[in-house]
Amino acid sequence: MPVQHNQEVAAKARAHLDGLADLYATPTREAELIAIFKEATRLEADFWEMGWRAGQRVE
């Protein structure tokens, strides 16, 4: 019984998320999110690179 309940909950959650995507996932918003993700990825890579370089000087 619990497995069936979990599957029902998951199906309802998926339907809800699909509905939200239909409302808000426009091509314009997709382009904005891609730009945000690219910038966030670049900033995170820079952060880790900075830490790695600082660790190299400790020797």
Residues in the chain: 59
User: What's the rounded mean pLDDT across residues 20-36?
Assistant: 92
User: What's the rounded mean pLDDT across residues 13-25?
Assistant: 93
Q: Which of 42, 25, 23 is nearest to 33 (CA)?
A: 25
- What is the reported pLDDT for 55? 85
- What is the reported pLDDT for 58? 63
Q: For residue 18, is pLDDT > 90?
A: yes
Vertex 10 angle, CA 7 and 13, to 5°: 150
